[in-house]
Amino acid sequence: MLFAPSGDDPRFIGFAASRIDCAGWRPHGSFPHGVDLRGTYLKGCELAASGSNYATGRVTKWDHANLENFEGSQTDLTGASAIEIYAPGEFVACVILDANFTGADLSRASLMFTGINNTNFSGAMLRDAELLACALRDVDFSDADLTGVSRKHTIDLDDEDSKEEQSSGKDEDVQGVDPPA
């Protein structure tokens, strides 16, 4: 059984987050930083978790959560544990750093304009996901399903060809992350 903090109205989690944040300083930064949200049902919810100068680095746990149609744009997912998360939602202009998305289902997810660094997507399902204009560095896509991934203007900073095309100013697709055959 999953925990559904918004019940039938996906706006309620946003209202609760605002109440938690307005109560004053949180040692882990703005909600939901540092919270254990494993197994939560947040289908259709909107929740932005921007970075914080006060965050202590405690990991936010999203493992096995349902984030279908979730709106998490401009969210800081630094250190997030999102093992086997189901998240075909919007994660536009996010920071994904030192995170673990092992076995996650991000099919049809939008990760446009997102910086992804030192993150594990091994065994993840990214079928038909959008990785448009992303910057990738030290990203593990081993055994991930990248079928139909849209990655126009995405730069793999570990790939020498991407670096050359970026520095030459070419306006072309960068093929730094190729789906398996």
Q: Whole-model pTM?
A: 0.75
Q: pLDDT category, 167, cuts 50, 70, 90?
A: very low
C-alpha distance from residue 156 to each of 35, 68, 96, 163, 173 (Å): 31, 27, 14, 8, 11
Instruction: Write the CB contacts of 8 (distance below 8 Å, at least 6 apart in sequence).
Output: none
| 140 residue type, one letter | D
Place of tokens 């900073």: 157
- Per-residue DSSP letter, 60: P
Between CA 59 and CA 61 the distance in angstroms is 6
Do the Cβ atoms of 50 and 74 come closer than 8 Å? yes
Q: Is the pLDDT of residue 102 over 90?
A: yes
- Per-residue DSSP letter, 180: P
Could you report the per-residue pLDDT of 58-72, keeping only the tens digit for each? 778 889 998 888 888
| 158 residue type, one letter | D
pLDDT (0 to 100) of residue 163 = 47
Between CA 151 and CA 116 the distance in angstroms is 13
pLDDT (0 to 100) of residue 1 = 37
Range 38-63 average pLDDT:
70
Buried b or exposed e, range 137-165, using 16+ CB within 10 angstroms = eebbbeebbbeebebeebbbeebeebeeb
Range 66-87 average pLDDT:
88
Q: Is the pLDDT of residue 37 over 50?
A: yes
Please report how many Cα atoms fall inside a 13 Å half-sphere around the Cα of residue 157, on the Cβ side: 11
Could you report the per-residue pLDDT of 110-160, keeping only the tens digit for each? 999 999 999 999 999 999 999 999 999 999 999 999 999 999 989 998 876
